[in-house]
């Protein structure tokens, strides 16, 4: 009578490998990739606005629109006290009902493209400076970010 041995615990080895990879990601941080955010607001006069942010670079971890400590001015600046944060300023308008911001990798830097839309009604408001704060996976010098509007 021969004794039949079962194959080594392949499923167990696969499970151990999955657990080790998951722990490794927990130790080194999260895996980043393309992401998107959508914000909706309504002004005191009932006007609804939507801002959509699309990050194809995989470098943006989080964003903030018009953060209170932002200093609009240069087109791109390091966020106050945040070496991995960049404030990107663009000209918007109080009549804008939709803003789309696309972020893409460009070599070692980024390209930020801002498109605004105004409804088909008269608007005599002047442009206002808006800011998006990008929290990045790594520091990027402001000079390595191009803004297109």
When pLDDT is cut at 50, 70 and 90, the band that residue 2 belongs to is: low
Q: What percent of the chain has pLDDT over 90?
A: 52
Contact between residue 32 and residue 59 where contact means Cβ atoms under 8 Å apart: yes
Return the exposure string of 44-70: e unless at least 16 CB atoms fall within 10 Å of the residue's CB, then b. eeeeebebebbbbbebbbebbbebeeb
Domain layout of the chain by residue ranges? 35-148
In this predicted structure, what is the pLDDT of residue 87?
A: 94
pTM confidence score: 0.74
- Residues 30-81 have pLDDT tens digits of 445 689 999 898 877 777 889 999 999 999 999 999 999 988 778 999 999 9
d(CA 143, CA 75): 10
């Amino acid at each position: 009578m021969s004794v039949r041995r079962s194959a080594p615990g392949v499923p167990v080895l696969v499970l151990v490998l999955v657990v080790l990879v998951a722990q490794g990601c927990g130790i080194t941080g999260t895996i980043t990739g393309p992401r998107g955010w959508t914000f909706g607001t309504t002004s005191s006069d009932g006007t609804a606005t939507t801002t959509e942010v699309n990050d194809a670079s995989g470098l943006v971890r989080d964003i903030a629109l018009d953060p209170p400590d932002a200093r609009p001015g240069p087109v791109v600046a390091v966020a106050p006290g945040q070496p991995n944060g960049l404030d990107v300023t663009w000209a918007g308008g109080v009549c804008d009902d939709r803003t789309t911001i696309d972020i893409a990798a460009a070599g070692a830097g980024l390209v930020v493209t801002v498109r605004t839309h105004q409804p088909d009604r008269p608007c005599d408001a002047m442009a206002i400076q808006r800011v998006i704060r990008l929290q990045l996976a790594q520091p990027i010098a402001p000079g390595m970010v191009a803004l297109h509007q």
